[in-house]
Amino acid sequence: MTETFTPSTRFAVPGRIAVSNRAAALWQTATLTEIRPETPRAATFRFAVPAWAGHLPGQHLMLRLTADDGYTAQRHYSIASAPDDDGHLELTLDHVSGGEVSGWFHTRAQPGDEVQVRGPLSGFFAWPGDRPALLIGAGSGVVPLMSMVRHHRARGLDVPLRLLVSARGPEELIYAREYGAETLPVFTRSAPEGVPVGRLAAHHLAPLLAEGPTGGWEAYVCGSNAFAEHASRLLVRAGQPVDRIRIERFG
Partner 1 sequence: MNVTRGFTGRPRAHRPGLPPGQYDAGDDWPVLSAEVTPDLAPADWTFRVDGLVAAPRTWDWDEAHALPRSAYEGDIHCVTSWSKFGVRFGGVSLDAFLDAVRPDTSATHAVAYAHTGYTTNLPLSDLTGGRAWIAWEYDGRPLAAEHGGPARLLVPHLYFWKSAKWIAGLRLLDHDEPGFWEQNGYHGRGNPWEEQRYAGD
**Binding site residues, partner 1, CB under 8 A:** 1-2, 5, 7-15, 19-22, 24-26, 29, 62, 65-68, 70-76, 98, 100, 104, 108-109, 113-116, 118, 121-125, 225, 229, 232-233, 235-236, 242-243, 245-251
SS (H, E, C) 13-47: CCCCCCCCHHHHHCCEEEEEEEEEECCCCEEEEEE
User: Is the CB of 83 or the CB of 119 nearer to partner 1?
Assistant: 119
From the CB of 242, what's the least distance to partner 1, in Å?
Answer: 5
For residues 19 and 121, is the Cβ–Cβ distance under 8 A? yes
Q: How far is the CB of 58 from partner 1 (least distance, A)?
A: 12
For residue 178, give every residue at least 6 positions away whose Cβ sits within 8 Å of its Cβ, in sequence order, or none. 146, 149, 150
Distance CA 92, CA 47 (A): 11
**CA 148 – CA 204 distance, rounded (Å):** 20
Q: Is 12 or 159 the residue whose CB approaches partner 1 more closely?
A: 12
**Least Cβ distance, residue 54 to partner 1 (angstroms):** 15
Local structure of residue 155 (DSSP, 8 states): T
In the complex, what is the shortest distance from the CB of residue 114 to partner 1, in angstroms, rounded to a whole number?
7
Minimum distance from residue 2 beta carbon to partner 1 (Å): 7
Per DSSP, 54 falls in state -
C-beta of 67 vs 181, nearer to partner 1: 67
Could you tell me if residue 58 is left (phi over 0), alpha (psi between -120 and 50 degrees) or otherwise beta?
left
Q: Give whichever of 188 and 224 is closer to partner 1, judged by the CB atom.
A: 224
Of 173 and 245, nearer to partner 1 (C-beta) is 245
Tell me if 176 sits within 8 A of 92, measured CB to CB.
Answer: no
In the complex with partner 1, the residue whose CB is nearer, 111 or 215, is 111
Minimum CB separation of residue 51 from partner 1 in Å reads: 15
Helix locations, the chain, DSSP H: 21-25, 100-107, 143-154, 202-210, 225-237
